[in-house]
């Protein structure tokens, strides 16, 4: 079994889900008392969040690159960055390490293709929804059209992520707002919706809506186990 490197803490709430889901999948695949071989480096999200909102992506990339090098030094075979938004700085991190990064958008794109999705909605932070680093990767690598909510809805989604979900706060009214936004995406013709922030799965579950949801945390974790169990 390969050793999985997890670069987490963005937020720690979703990093907990990564660790749990990876080990649950290992148990399904191997049974008995098996658990995953994992190296975890957790950063201080307060520091990263301030750099995000001040658009100091270079400094954020520097911090994550140092963390990634530390993960590599303790013999991880590959790396997962446990957040969608910070995949914006993957090209910089890749230049600083030799182990491969298992990209969350690639893992998600594969599952979308397996489900014959041609047009998909995307929920996430404002950075993920408005910038091109995530949407273009799915469009270019998997030929899937990515639709995002309108500006007002983007602001609602972003605020709930940072002011509630990243703090472990789950509100019924916030769920209702998310579900209304999902319904509006369905009216635009999407065949499914990407939960493109690793905390959103804490709020929205498949049983809450008829449209197919693609939880990136679960998808990324399962892909990590596949990679870990490769010969």
Least Cα distance to 165 among 83, 94, 104, 96 occurs for 83
Active site residue 197: yes
- Say which of 15, 83, 128, 198 is annotated catalytic: 83
State the Cα–Cα distance between residues 33 and 27, nearest whole angstrom.
7
Q: Hey, what are 29's tokens?
A: 């695949």
Strand order in the sheet with 78-81: 38-42, 4-8, 78-81
Burial readout 202-222 (b: 16 or more C-beta within 10 A, e: otherwise)? bbbeeeeeebebbbbbbbbbb
Exactly one of 197, 198, 216, 217 is catalytic; which is it?
197
83 catalytic per annotation: yes
Residues labelled catalytic: 83, 197
């Amino acid at each position: 079994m390969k050793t999985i490197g997890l670069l987490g803490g963005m937020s720690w709430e979703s990093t907990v889900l990564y660790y749990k889901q990876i080990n649950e999948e290992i148990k399904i695949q191997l049974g008995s008392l098996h658990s995953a071989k994992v190296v975890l480096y957790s950063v201080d999200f307060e520091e990263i969040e301030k750099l995000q909102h001040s658009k100091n992506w270079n400094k954020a990339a520097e911090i994550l690159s140092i963390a990634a090098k530390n993960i590599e030094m303790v013999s991880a075979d590959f790396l997962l960055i446990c957040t969608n938004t910070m995949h914006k700085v993957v090209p910089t991190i890749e230049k600083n390490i030799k182990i491969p990064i298992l990209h969350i958008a690639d893992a998600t794109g594969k599952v979308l293709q397996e489900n014959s999705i041609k047009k998909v909605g995307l929920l996430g932070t404002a950075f993920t929804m408005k910038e091109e680093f995530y949407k273009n990767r799915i469009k270019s690598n998997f030929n899937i059209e990515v639709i995002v909510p309108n500006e007002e809805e983007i602001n609602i989604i972003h605020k709930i992520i940072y002011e509630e979900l990243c703090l472990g706060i789950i509100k019924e009214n916030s769920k209702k707002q998310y579900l209304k936004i999902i319904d509006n995406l369905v009216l635009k013709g999407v065949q499914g919706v990407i939960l493109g922030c690793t905390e959103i799965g804490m709020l929205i579950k498949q049983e809450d809506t008829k449209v197919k949801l693609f939880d990136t945390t679960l998808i990324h974790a399962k892909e990590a186990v596949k990679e870990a169990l490769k010969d």
